[in-house]
Amino acid sequence: MTMGFLNWLLLFIPRAIMQGTPLLFGATGEIITEKTGNLNLGIPGIMYVGAISGMTGAFFYENSVVAVNPVLGILIPLVSCLAGSLFASLIYCFLTVTLRANQNVTGLALTTFGVGLGNFLGGSLIKISGSAVPYFSVSDVSRLFRAKLPFASSLGQIGNLFFSYGFLVYLAVIIAVVASVVLKRTRVGLQLRAVGENPATADAAGINVTKYKYFATCIGGMIAGLGGLYFTVDYSGGIWSNDGFGDRGWLALAIVIFSVWRPALSIFGSYLFGGLLVLYNRINVPMQMIPVVQMLPYIVTVIVLVSISAMKKKENLPPASLGLSYFREDR
Amino acid sequence: MSKQPNNSTAREREPLVVLSKRDTVPLGRAILVRAAAIAIAVIICGLLTLLVTKNNPVKVFAAFFYGTFGTSQLAWVTIHNVALLLCVSLAVTPAFRMRFWNIGAEGQALAGCFTCAALMFYLGGKIPDALLVPVLVISSIAAGAVWGLIPAVFKAVWNTNETLFTLMMNYIAIQMVEFFLKVADKSGSNTVGPDLLSHGWFPELFGNKYLLNIIIVFVLTALIYVYLYYTKHGYEISVVGESENTARYIGINVKNVIIRTMILSGAICGLCGLLLVAGSSHSIDSNLVKGRGFTAIMVSWISKFNPIIMVPVSLLIVFLERGAGQVTVSFGLNSSFSEILTGIILFFIIGCEFFLNYRLRFRSREGKKEGK
Amino acid sequence: MRNITKKFGEKVVANKNVNLDVKYGEILALLGENGSGKTTLMNMLSGIYHPDEGEIFVNGEHATINSPNDAFGYKIGMIHQHFKLVDIFTAAENIVLGINDGEKYDIKDAAAKVSVISEKYGFDIKPAKKIYNMSVSEKQTVEIIKVLYRGADILILDEPTAVLTPQETEKLFAVLRRMRDDGKSVIIITHKLNEVLEVSDRVAILRKGEHIATVNTSDATEASLTEMMVGKKVTLNIDRSEPVNVTPRLVVRNISETNQDGVRILKDVSFTANAGEILGIAGIAGSGQRELLESIAGLGRLNSGEIIYHRPKKDLPVSFFHKTYAQVVRMAKEGKFHYEDGTPVNFDGMSRVRIRKLVNDGKILFNEDEIMNLRDHTPLEIRELGVRLSFVPEDRLGMGLVGSMDLTDNMMLRSYRHGKWVFVDRDNPKQLAEKIVSDLDVVTPGVGTPVRRLSGGNVQKVLVGREISAAPKVLMAAYPVRGLDINSSYTIYNLLNRQKEIGTAVIFVGEDLDVLLGLCDRIMVISSGEITGIVDARTATKEEIGLMMTGRKRVVENEQTTE
């Protein structure tokens, strides 16, 4: 019985980690963004843009050469993904920071736009590829992204548990840890958090509020975009199908709350939520209970949200200026 | 002192553009700025459409109109879609006027859909339709209201962030619908269709299955307009939204107003769910609201929370959606193209508000006296 | 550091031809009433504003200060009245916030440096403590260390003692003296004479934006400083009638209030506001005036005390509008009524019908005013009790009016509940708005204009007009002429006077002592939430009130309180 459970766990955990990785990218990116007071509801759209940009880069590269060069095969999708998500983030920043538009409205419009752009380009590429089925694939590039560490298979189950993933999985963890350290232990992190907590005080202390908001939102957006890239080139095996990314962007927003705006906690949160997404495959539940399991992440998030507001512990509350644009009234 | 900037460089460091808040803008200017923004957006969209279709722009434009109003069937669908979008926009508006950022309209409407479909499924045929319809109406509206009430209570008691709370409630509602689909239709299909929801349908007026819904929503528009501008409740909502301090000063119970208004907001969403299930589709799936809960937020905001302005704005959005849909069919594009166009136009409308809310003043050099 | 000359010239003259110099190793007190331009002057030194005319010299060299960062470049640091701190950060984090010195960021290092500074000047601070766990004085300490950490040699403190207890003030002064001995220059903005005399080396006095004099503290006395601060008495042309039919209307007994930060804002306040009289409240801004009025209006949370309203009923007929039949009978038994000819009412043996008829015919009159306690009632409940209390708050557009709404809708703030119908009535408010516009000469394009677009004086006319239209029995007005031109101010004075003449109890919170002395009948002085005295406005002097405002002198007046 215990051996059985252990084996089950060894099979389940890698799936949870792989499901959790796009969420982790998204959540880390959104935490960095929200820490400067920008509630970016465009993150689902940005992740879509990141995904399709990376896929577009990969597609054209793969179709223009006979043999895929491993370095270019990784760099081209990576750079085009970052460029695409940067572009989307800049739209958000320009509207909310420079033009001080309502963050909710802008974010939702960006999500509409981003999902539309993703599906439009995706659909166009499907047409170009002449595929009979509603998807196109970049299998060679995907192989590069999915490459396991060479010694993974020789380590048996340990290897399977820790070393059997594409490099983006490790990158997600590294970024989350680095973000955690930067936010907590560096001057940049301190000033960034000050901007989100009290922009007027930060301004008075000589911190460039606009610069920080742009900086954090763009970096955050690019990190989130990587989540889209991972999902397509690695998790889905390099296959794009429209709307395949689903609601993962919103789930990432939920994880931000679940992890009370702490990137280190979001690693755990992402894998937990990722696990819940695939749990039904691994346990014997009646089919109708699947939605109940999938509802759990959101219910847990709501409970966390209510608890932090009820406990009123200031460190756990959302950044104080979240959702508000900053305008220096005087002078 | 090592740091000793001289006078002239210091002057140059003063910002070139000075921003200040504007109080109000003359109506003419407000219309002009918005019209200009939409015009630029339409030109960009036109160029983009031209680029991807490589076709005569007049033809493309004609396709837009055809898709929206080409046949009477298409026109009815368009008007019906306008009505549904308008309904959700009306729902979020009272909350927004009170500065309560309810972005959970999608979920509140789905809660209405879910309740309506579940009752049709379980009670249909067991009680007479004449009884079932009122039960559907009351229960669906109540379900939406409850979905709106939950975040409102926590906002009032603990000041729980309503934006995040209502957002999460959307996905709980989606999964609730999924649960119903799995329970009701054992085949594992993603939709529960008219065959299983065969009772409690709204009557067709003059043989038109959309007309009743459309009439309901347009009556509702007038009611909400009156509610917001001419009733005591509407007045209280405005005061709470403008200044909580003033509300306290004149003795308004802010918590009560928040809760009451969110019940109304959720109830109208529930009504929309009812119209969707019992009034038109007679089926349910988790994407039945089709993102209108989110689009409505933009419609309401762009319309400055005015129900009457929401009518043309909803029409514009639906026109883009359905027109672009037609373009994609006629010119072999894919249907997501309309979302790109909607996005671009929204960006411009959102951005242009800046020029209405802020005054840009360029610092003139000759106007400054040199302090010597 | 020599010769700071600053000139100002525009519509509102905040500072006029001010010359000031500060030496290293001294504490300079900047003394003046509210609005005398002390803070504005210092804001120019710290880079918040820059002067329209004039120049600043630091160490004999010309200095251009356009931002707080520039000011730090000249080693000038200011501690503002409103703290600029991030709540969820620790003391050390707040102190280093915004410093980009190119060195490696290490919060432990910073904390160590903070401890060194604390020890040197005798601060008591834990670098790792969060701001939201701190008392007001601790927060102030963080602000001071923030400035010292950046190596400031010139420190400006804006009203540093306003939020401190006497013990904390003592501690602060000890720190300031140590800084002076360390060769720093300290400028302390204040209006408290005792503190000036206690801590400063020299005093610069500002009045209405002008620099009056700079004297050595050792040569100054309270009297000489007060005279320079308040200036000669200016007689204003306000018609003040003699109060008639003065009876107690509002009796406030021993009320105390503590704010969220745990600071006591009102300390055992007691006074009586009489009908037919204007009671002035004088005091330094922020001494508890706002909280006092708000708690009377039902907006505060009192810890103790009572607010007794005497509802004017004496010699007025009883009605069944506010009283039930049973209440009337009970009160008659208690001997609370009399007939028109003055004989006591006795219902014994009378039939119910007869009693009802007597009451309905208005034959039964009250002996005394009705007494009711307003404490812990909301503004709505107070109105429902039938208390006609009007309140012109200090924050006109943030509390009294809604800026984005037009005149008509602003009239509705008080009246929108009228009528049982769910719809609001806009006709009567519209008429009221039109009446106020014509009666008070409000300059506006129409009653459909958002009030935010009106000038300050017209906004105030609209607000006061609305509050008076309710025919109040008690009218409270907080700084009703602040920012108004002469003509508008006189309109307001006349309105208040007319209210007094028709028997309203008027409470007027003011800042200009000349106005208070010219308009009011009695003046109550509040200092740090305590009443320091109530004087007769016809005989009191500015010096006397000025001293009480600083909490020094008490005049005990024999109050004619009716119990």
Kindly report the backbone phi and psi dihedral angles of residue B119, in degrees, each rounded to the nearest multiple of 5, phi listed first: -70, -40
Host domain of residue B164: 74-318
Residues B238, B299 within the same domain: yes
Residues C219, C295 within the same domain: no
Chain B residues closer than 8 Å to C299 by CB: 248-249
Contacts 24+ apart (CB under 8 A), C461-464: C461/C436, C461/C488, C461/C491, C461/C492, C462/C401, C462/C407, C462/C410, C462/C433, C462/C436, C463/C392, C463/C396, C463/C400, C463/C401, C464/C392, C464/C440, C464/C492, C464/C495
Residues C300, C415 within the same domain: no
Residues C166, C275 within the same domain: no
DSSP for A208-273, please give it.
-HHHHHHHHHHHHHHHHHHHHHIIIIIITSSEE-TTTTTTHHHHHHHHHHHTTT-HHHHHHHHHHH
Host domain of residue A100: 11-316
Please measure the distance between the N-terminal and C-terminal CA atoms of chain A and give it in whole angstroms: 72
CATH of the domain at B91: 1.10.3470
Q: Please check whether residue B232 touches C, CB under 8 A.
A: yes
Chain A residues closer than 8 Å to C133 by CB: none
Residues B284, B202 within the same domain: yes
Residue B2 CA to residue C73 CA, distance in Å, equals 9
Residues C408, C521 within the same domain: no
Q: Is residue C261 part of a domain?
A: yes
Chain B residues closer than 8 Å to A124 by CB: 52, 333-334
Residues B370, B246 within the same domain: no
The count of domains in chain B is: 2
Residues C187, C54 within the same domain: yes
Chain C residues closer than 8 Å to B239 by CB: 402, 413
Residues C260, C156 within the same domain: no
Residues C426, C556 within the same domain: no
Q: Taking all residues of chain B, what is their mean pLDDT, rounded to a whole number?
A: 85
pLDDT exceeding 90 applies to what percent of chain C?
A: 19
Q: Is residue A329 part of a domain?
A: no
**Residue C159: how many CB atoms within 10 A of its CB?**
19
CB pairs under 8 A between A and C: 59
Choose one of C436, C470, C504: the last residue of a domain. C470
Host domain of residue C62: 4-230
Choose one of C455, C470, C485: the last residue of a domain. C470
pLDDT over 50 (residue A148)? yes
Residue C465 CA to residue C461 CA, distance in Å, equals 6
Residues C465, C475 within the same domain: no
Q: Is residue B17 part of a domain?
A: no
pLDDT over 70 (residue A167)? yes
Q: Is residue A325 part of a domain?
A: no
Residue C196 CA to residue A149 CA, distance in Å, equals 75
Choose one of B279, B294, B318: the last residue of a domain. B318
Q: Is residue A37 part of a domain?
A: yes
Top-confidence range, A172-186, C221-235, C480-494: A172-186
Q: Check residue B372 and give its pLDDT.
A: 27
Q: Is residue A259 part of a domain?
A: yes
Residues B314, B244 within the same domain: yes
Residues C497, C419 within the same domain: no
Residues C102, C38 within the same domain: yes
Residues B85, B44 within the same domain: no
Question: Greatest CA span in chain B, whole angstroms?
Answer: 93
Strand bridging mode B358-362 / B17-21: antiparallel
Choose one of C199, C230, C261: the last residue of a domain. C230
User: If you search the block for the tokens 């538009």, which residue do you land on?
Assistant: A101
Top-confidence range, A56-65, C154-163, C538-547: A56-65
Shortest distance between the Cα of B151 and any Cα of chain A, in A, equals 9
Residues C329, C440 within the same domain: no
Q: Is residue C238 part of a domain?
A: no
Query: How many angstroms separate the Cα of C97 from the Cα of each of B25, C90, C137?
Result: 39, 11, 20
Residues C118, C174 within the same domain: yes
Contact A173, A20 (CB under 8 A): no
Q: Check residue C64 and give its pLDDT.
A: 80
In this predicted complex, what is the ipTM?
0.88
> Helices A103-128 & B292-302, crossing angle to 10 degrees?
130
The count of domains in chain C is: 4
Q: Taking all residues of chain A, what is their mean pLDDT, rounded to a whole number?
A: 89
Q: Check residue B363 and give its pLDDT.
A: 55
Asked if C378's CB is within 8 angstroms of B251's CB, the reply is: yes
Q: Check residue A47 and give its pLDDT.
A: 96
Going by C-alpha positions, the residue among A116, A141, A166, A167 that lies closest to residue A59 is A141
Q: Check residue B84 and give its pLDDT.
A: 95
Asked if B249's CB is within 8 angstroms of C297's CB, the reply is: yes
β-bridge partners, B231: C423
Going by C-alpha positions, the residue among C387, C350, C342, C386 that lies closest to residue C366 is C342
Q: Is residue C79 part of a domain?
A: yes
DSSP for B70-132, please give it.
SSHHHHHHHHHHHHHHHHHHHHHHHHHHTT-----HHHHHHHHHHHHHHHHHHHBTTB-HHHH
Q: What burial letters (b/e) apply to C207-236, b meaning 16+ CB within 10 Å?
A: bebbbbebbebeebebeebbbbbbbeeeeb
Nearest to B347 among A41, A95, A242 (CB): A95
CATH of the domain at A247: 1.10.3470
pLDDT tens by residue, B299-336: 999 898 999 999 999 998 898 888 878 877 787 777 78
Neighbour subunits, A (≥3 Cβ pairs < 8 A): B, C
CATH of the domain at C190: 3.40.50.300
pLDDT over 90 (residue C454)? no
Asked if A291's CB is within 8 angstroms of B178's CB, the reply is: yes
- Element spanning C409, H or E: helix C407-415
Q: Is residue C479 part of a domain?
A: yes
CB pairs under 8 A between B and C: 97
C434: exposed, middle or buried (Cβ count in 10 Å: 0-12, 13-18, 19+): middle
Asked if C424's CB is within 8 angstroms of B249's CB, the reply is: no
pLDDT over 90 (residue C137)? no
Strand ranges (DSSP E) for chain B?
17-21, 358-362
Q: Please check whether residue C68 touches A, CB under 8 A.
A: yes
The count of domains in chain A is: 1
pLDDT over 90 (residue B219)? yes
Chain A residues whose C-beta sits inside 8 Å of any chain C C-beta: 185-187, 190-191, 193-194, 197-198, 200-202, 204-207, 314-315, 320, 330-331
Q: Is residue A4 part of a domain?
A: no
Nearest to A95 among B163, B342, B350 (CB): B350
β-bridge partners, C508: C280, C477
C69 vs A224: which has the higher pLDDT: A224
Token couple for B311: 């009518």
Q: Is residue C361 part of a domain?
A: yes
Residues B50, B139 within the same domain: no
Q: Is residue C268 part of a domain?
A: yes
- Element spanning A160, H or E: helix A156-162
Residue C400 CA to residue B249 CA, distance in Å, equals 7
C23: exposed, middle or buried (Cβ count in 10 Å: 0-12, 13-18, 19+): exposed
Residues B279, B244 within the same domain: yes
Mean pLDDT on B6-25 = 53
Best C64, C153, C396, C405 member to test B by mutation, with max B CBs in 10 Å, is C64
C436 vs C19: which has the higher pLDDT: C436
Q: Is residue B15 part of a domain?
A: no
Q: Is residue B42 part of a domain?
A: yes
Residue C465 CA to residue C363 CA, distance in Å, equals 35
pLDDT over 70 (residue C82)? yes
Chain C residues closer than 8 Å to A194 by CB: 86, 89, 97-98
Asked if C403's CB is within 8 angstroms of B232's CB, the reply is: no
